[in-house]
Amino acid sequence: TLVDLSTVEIIDSFMIYALISARKNAAEVGGKFALVGVGERVRQILEETRLDRVFDVYDTVEDVTG
């Protein structure tokens, strides 16, 4: 599962919970989960909450699909 956050300027606790839940659901069925197009403010929030260590984060979809 790829979640494109390129149009998202900021995330709140509800969205963080939704992303964590989606990642967990993907893992339960053996799927992969990644965030793409993460902007500077969202990346900062992920780093401050240390979720950048939980999620695979890529600049573009092409970076994932190679």
- List pLDDT tens digits, range 26-49: 999 999 999 999 999 999 999 999
| pTM for the full predicted model | 0.89
What percent of the chain has a predicted confidence (pLDDT) above 90? 91
Taking residue 51's Cβ as centre, other Cβ atoms within 10 Å add up to: 17
Closest to 63 measured CA to CA, from 27, 30, 37: 37
pLDDT for position 31: 94
E strand or H helix at 2: strand 2-4
Please say if the pLDDT value at position 7 is more than 90. yes
